[in-house]
Every structure is written in structure tokens, then in C-alpha cells.
Amino acid sequence: MSDTPFNYKITAFNTIVWKEVRRFLRIWVQTLVPPVITISLYFVIFGNLIGRRIGDMDGYTYMEFIVPGLIMMAVINNSYANVVSSFFSQKYQRSIEELLVSPVPNYVILSGFVIGGVARGLAVGVIATIMSLFFSGLHMHNIFITLMVVLMSSIVFSLGGFINAIFANKFDDISIIPTFVLTPLIYLGGVFYSIDMLPDFWRTISQLNPIFYMVNAFRYGILGVSDINVLFAFSMLVIFTVVLFFLSLWLLHRGRGLRH
């Protein structure tokens, strides 16, 4: 829709983002409280109780080592969950038709949902960071890298949630990917350990996991230690973002599950 005025697109984009933010704030007990409880338990059990027996890792206490990974885990899970549940709910209730019949270009629809997911991901990330202050001091090796990594990771998983929602036909379908794909990738992505601890074979396998790059780049931004080259991690994030964005846009354009 090349004839669409720029101001119109901005208004439509703001409307979608605000609607998404309003949604997760309205159901804050389902969206903001559970991550706080989960993260607190991780800090208490893994960081504090078990961590004391594990000792230092890469020159930091175990608690300090896992804080970046746990924050990133919260951001990833919530960005993904926000978009997949919001978009699928709208598809299921058919309220997405409000948008489909309107003149909003597809890339504005996609961007609006993604930024809505990023908003929840970052909100939970900030809450998790504040929670971590009760258990560990706040390090900040490079704030630019930290913010960029968390932002891009949030975008990548918001896009992932969008694709999941496009393909989902029933509510079960929006929990399959988080349970069987996302959670294993997060746990095997170096949140709780350094891949230096793994045998060569599993170390190589770990490098196929996109979350591994995000966690390590984020840990580098906070602590200054990483299992991989940060520039390479950034490159991977950019590639994932571009590929998933255009895949999402193509699916939206095709109207899969949306238009008949």
C-alpha cells in the first residue's frame, strides 16, 4: 500500500502497540507476576542454595554467572508468549479481522505485534533485573551491548511467537513450541553453565542453538565474559531477525489461516 500516508501508518502502529501493552497490563497477574515468582525461585534455589556448593564460574560467583542468563530467559519467554497468545487469541476470536479489513499495511501490523512483545519482554526483564539485586550486585561491562542484545533477542522471539500463532489452529498449538522447543533450547543455551564444561561434541551441538548466542552476548554485556565472539553473536541475531521478519511478513501476506 504505497499510497498510505506516513502519519497514518504511525497512528496505526501506535494503536496496535498500545493495544498490546494495554492487554498485558490488564492481565498483569497472568503476565507480570509469574515471571517474578519463577525468577525468584531460580535465584534462591540455583543461585543461592546450590550455587554456593558449585563455586565460581568464569571468575564470578555462580549467582553472578546465572543472573544474565535468567534475565534473558525471562525476556525470551515473555516476548514469545505475548505475541503468540495475543495474536492467536485475536485470530481465534476473529478480532484480527478488524485489522485485516483496515488499510493498515502488513508490515505495520507485524511491527506493532512485535513491539508489543518486546514491551512485555523488556518489562519482565526490568523486573527480573530488580529481583536480581536482592541476590547479587549489578555489574555492567558494556551497556550498549547489553541493551542491543536484549532488544534484538526480544524481537527475534516475538517474531517466533508470531509465526507460531499464524500456524496455530487451536490453543494446544501455542504451547507445543514453548514446551518442546523453546524451554530445551533455553536450558541448553548456557543459562546455567559455560559450554567449556561440555565435551567437544556437545559443545559443537550447542553452537547450533540460537539462544546460546543471545545468552552469551548478554552475559558479555553485563559481566564481560563469553563463550563466543560477541560480533559473531550479533551477526547471528541480525540474520535471525531479518529472516524471521520476512518469513512472518510473507505468511501475513499469504493470509495463512487469516483470509480464505
Nearer to other proteins, 11 or 169 (CB): 11
Nearer to other proteins, 95 or 183 (CB): 95
- Binding part of the chain for other proteins, among 7-15, 55-63, 222-230, 234-242 by CB under 8 A, reads 7-15
**Vertex 223: Cα angle to 218 and 227 (nearest 5):** 65
Burial class (CB in 10 A: 0-12, 13-18, 19+), 117: buried
Using CB under 8 A as the binding rule, the residues of this chain from 237 to 256 that contact other proteins are 255
171-209 core/surface letters (b: 16 or more CB in 10 A; e: else) = eeebeebbeeebeeebebbbbbbbbeebeeeeeeebeeb
- Binding part of the chain for other proteins, among 10-18, 120-128, 195-203, 233-241 by CB under 8 A, reads 10-18
Using CB under 8 A as the binding rule, the residues of this chain from 11 to 40 that contact other proteins are 11-12, 14-16, 18-19, 22, 26
Nearer to other proteins, 32 or 126 (CB): 32
Using CB under 8 A as the binding rule, the residues of this chain from 83 to 142 that contact other proteins are 89-90, 93-95, 97-104
Number of residues in contact with other proteins, rule: CB under 8 A?
Answer: 31
**DSSP-assigned letter for residue 60:** B
Nearer to other proteins, 46 or 107 (CB): 107
Give residue for cell 479481522: 97
Nearer to other proteins, 16 or 76 (CB): 16
Phi and psi for 194 in degrees, rounded to 5?
Answer: -95, 140
| In the complex, least distance from residue 34 CB atom to other proteins, rounded to whole angstroms | 19
Cite the DSSP H helix spans in 3-142.
6-26, 28-31, 33-42, 51-54, 62-93, 96-100, 106-132
Q: What cell does 89 get?
A: 487469541
| In the complex, least distance from residue 101 CB atom to other proteins, rounded to whole angstroms | 5
Give residue for cell 547489553: 146
Helix axes 106-132 and 62-93, enclosed angle (nearest 10): 150
Nearer to other proteins, 10 or 143 (CB): 10
Q: By CB under 8 A, name the binding residues for other proteins.
A: 1, 3-5, 7-8, 11-12, 14-16, 18-19, 22, 26, 89-90, 93-95, 97-104, 255, 259-260
